[in-house]
Amino acid sequence: MTPTTYRTADVDGFKVFYREAGPTNAPNLLLLHGFPSAGHMFRDLIPLLADKYHVVAPDLPGFGQSDMPSRDTFRYTFDNVARVIERFTEVIGFDRFAVYVFDYGAPTGFRLALRHPERITAIISQNGNAYEDGLSDGWTPIKAYWQDPSLANREALRAFLTPEATRWQYTHGVGDTTMVSPDGQNLDNFYLARPGSDDVQLDLFGDYKSNVALYPSFQDYFRTHKPPFLAVWGKNDPFFIPPGAEAFKRDNPNAVVQFFDTGHFALETHAREIAASIRAFLTQ
Helix axes 197-225, 105-115, angle to 10 degrees: 50
Instruction: Give the Cα separation of 130 and 113 in Å (integer).
Output: 13
Catalytic (active site) residue 116? no
| Strands of the sheet with 5-11, listed across from one edge | 5-11, 14-21, 54-58, 28-32, 97-101, 120-125, 229-234, 256-260
φ and ψ at 121, to 5 degrees? -95, -25
Burial of 268 (0-12, 13-18, 19+ CB in 10 A): buried
What separation, in Å, do the N-terminal and C-terminal C-alpha atoms of the chain show? 24
Catalytic residue among 33, 40, 172, 264: 264
Q: Is the dihedral of CA 66, 186, 179, 130 positive or negative?
A: negative
Q: Which of 174, 184, 161 is nearest to 236 (CA)?
A: 174
CA 130 to chain centre: 12
On whether the CB atoms of residues 129 and 244 are closer than 8 A, the answer is: yes
Catalytic residues: 264
